[in-house]
Structure 1
Amino acid sequence: MSQLFIVFTALTPIFLLILLGYVLRRRRFVPDEAWVPVEKLTYYIFFPLLLLDNLSKASLGDLAVVPMGLALVSAILTATLLLLLLRRHLNPDGPAFTSVFQGSVRPNTFVGLAAAAALFGKPGVTLFAIGLATVVPLVNVLCVIVLSRYGSGNGSSIRAVALGILRNPIIIGVAAGAALNLSGVGRPPLIGPVFQILGDAALPLGLLAVGAGLDLAAARSAGGAVLQSSLTKLLVVPGLTALYGAVFGVHGLTLTVAVLFNSLPAAASAYVLARQMGGDARLMAGTITLQTVLALPSIPLALLLFG
């Protein structure tokens, strides 16, 4: 229980920042229109540069990169198969199922990166970046496929999905940092410290933006579907990750960060995709909100049980 308390204590400041973001928007201390550029700056500049800077100077040789990636991907694919098989028993309509699915597999990377940094420092951030490079492309493809099949809007072509992944700033940041690392260049001179300064802004601004996007009214009206996706995302998928970690020989800090990655609440980007492609956006907003609230106790519990 002492380990559970330590993890809970380390994560509490992260969720206090999220709460602050919610209060700032609720009280209109920051105008609503200001949050869009904050999110855009964080997603397109600060967050990718934080990943680039950490990966460029990390020691990757000692990390079980491939086994970790296999454990993460296998857990998500297994959860996808289970959700598709159970869809008729869960009995949601098509758009509602897309929101259940997104809520079960799409991780909030802002919360995750802050948690990895708070709990495990720079090694945790490096391992988390590996998870991003592995999971983000897969999850984007799966969510678009499910929304195209079950959503009420227009589908998206394979070409558009592929271009979206290639242009994803997080993927670009991870790829650039890995390239600098593997080439032996490391953190580039002169411009490297600028990357670090800008990257340091990612976590506080990103967490405030997460809080500003919470919708408690949507969470209250979401119903049973939000509980289904929350149970899957916060407990089932982390458990599957630990199971596949054992299969592929992942252990130590690498396993712990893998479990952390797959125990994160749903990302705000799921709401945007739901609106664009005919998902149940209201249910998605409620799922994101409830999972973010539940994540403070559920992440320590997942790490204690599976990490």
Structure 2
Amino acid sequence: MFDVLAITAPIFLLIGIGYTARWRELISPVQLSGIGTFVLYFSLPALVIKALTQNPLEDVLSGSFLVAYGLGSIGTFALGLLVARRLQRKPLTEGALQALGMAASNSGFIGYPVGALVLGPTVAAKFLALCMLIENLVIIPLALILAEAGQQQGVRLGPLVRHTLQRLARNPIMIGLATGLTVAISGISLPVPLERVIEMLASASAPAALFVIGGTLYGLQLKGMVRDIASIASGKLLLHPLLVSGIFLLLTWFVPDIDTMLLAGALLFASCPMISVYPLLGARFGMEGIGSAALMASTLLSFLTLSTVIWVVSHHL
């Protein structure tokens, strides 16, 4: 138990420091937003580039991981959307965004810091790149296309998909993924000064990201949203890791020599709360309140789920 606390305590202490900084008004919302912008536009893209270029591409990309994590995430999204639409009678836009909260992990702000402590920073960076491929190329575009379709009845699917993909192409994480893949495939060696800049930016991602998460949680209210929050949080913290690990175990029947490290990484990243930009994505559709509240609840509850998963990974994988 103390081994688990030794890993999780620094994560949530950094989140607590960010929360306290906002509570004591040591940092303003504008300043916190600036730190978040730094992480999103510079530090995380640098971390992705580093993950894709510091090792041969064939060592980073894993077909088994992409299949298991991708199918698990898509399955979580589909079940979340089905529950929202059929059982809760939610409109398509609201259902798509609830499903997004269940199926897209906070890989950069929480998944990587936790993975770095449990598995080591080099291994965690590889999993970060793989998870971001799934999240940014599959889950987020799918959710936004369906959310837009729910608000724009009668609009043709082609222009809607094209418009959504054009916006995603300007996402800094996508630019980092494209840059890292281009460099890795071409075999170009980056100049030493540039490598050092990327290394410095990447190393700042974990503490700065966790600080921003804590500051963002300050002042959020849960009133009147308990049912929806419980649905999203349980889907993210329970259903997502269960489906991902279940598909991984199913794959072992066909590919018996799958490295258990892949299962450990997938389980850790899937057990994280939803992406930190979830409230921002929801704000475009009038759902910033439920997005922020679900983010707060799932982040706090993830202390329990992540501690459990870390114990499982440390003792059984």
| TM-score in terms of structure 1 length | 0.88
Give the drift of 1:6.
2.6
Identity in percent: 22
What is residue 102 of structure 1 aligned with on the other side? 100
Looking at structure 2, the residues matched to 238 and 23 of structure 1 have their Cα atoms a distance apart, in angstroms, of 30
8 Å contact from structure 1 (residues 14, 207) kept in 2: yes
What is residue 273 of structure 1 aligned with on the other side? 281
Give the number of equivalent residue pairs.
Answer: 303
Is 1:292 aligned to 2:295, yes or no?
no
Give the drift of 1:60.
4.4
Looking at structure 2, the residues matched to 162 and 96 of structure 1 have their Cα atoms a distance apart, in angstroms, of 20
1:75-224, aligned counterparts within 5 Å? Answer: 75-88=72-85, 90-91=87-88, 93-94=90-91, 96-108=94-106, 109-121=108-120, 122-150=122-150, 157-215=160-218, 217-224=220-227
Deviations 1:223-259 (A, max 9, x none): 1111111111101110110111123344411111111
8 Å contact from structure 1 (residues 107, 261) kept in 2: yes
Give the drift of 1:16.
0.9
What is residue 308 of structure 2 aligned with on the other side? 301
1:52-71, aligned counterparts within 5 Å? Answer: 52-62=49-59, 65-71=62-68
Deviations 1:286-306 (A, max 9, x none): 100000111111123245558
Looking at structure 1, the residues matched to 185 and 15 of structure 2 have their Cα atoms a distance apart, in angstroms, of 35
Structure 1 residues 207 and 138, CA, compared in 2 at 3 Å: closer, same or farther? same
Structure 2 unpaired stretches of 5+: none
Looking at structure 1, the residues matched to 219 and 237 of structure 2 have their Cα atoms a distance apart, in angstroms, of 19
Looking at structure 1, the residues matched to 97 and 134 of structure 2 have their Cα atoms a distance apart, in angstroms, of 22
Structure 1 unpaired stretches of 5+: none
Deviations 1:9-60 (A, max 9, x none): 2122111111111111121101221122211111011111122123211244
Deviations 1:182-209 (A, max 9, x none): 4333453221111111222222111111
8 Å contact from structure 2 (residues 15, 214) kept in 1: yes
Q: What letter matches 2:145 in structure 1?
A: I
Partner SS, residue 217 of structure 2: coil
Deviations 1:104-153 (A, max 9, x none): 12221211111111211111221221221222221211221332244699
Give the drift of 1:69.
0.6
Over aligned residue pairs, what C-alpha RMSD do you find?
2.6
1:238-249, aligned counterparts within 5 Å? Answer: 238-248=241-251, 249=255
Give runs of ≥4 in structure 1 deviating > 3 Å.
59-64, 95-99, 149-156, 181-188, 302-307
8 Å contact from structure 1 (residues 97, 150) kept in 2: no
Partner SS, residue 58 of structure 2: coil
Looking at structure 1, the residues matched to 61 and 175 of structure 2 have their Cα atoms a distance apart, in angstroms, of 22
Looking at structure 2, the residues matched to 268 and 63 of structure 1 have their Cα atoms a distance apart, in angstroms, of 25
188-197 or 286-295, which deviates more: 188-197
Given the alignment, which residue of 6, 10, 18 partners 1:9? 6
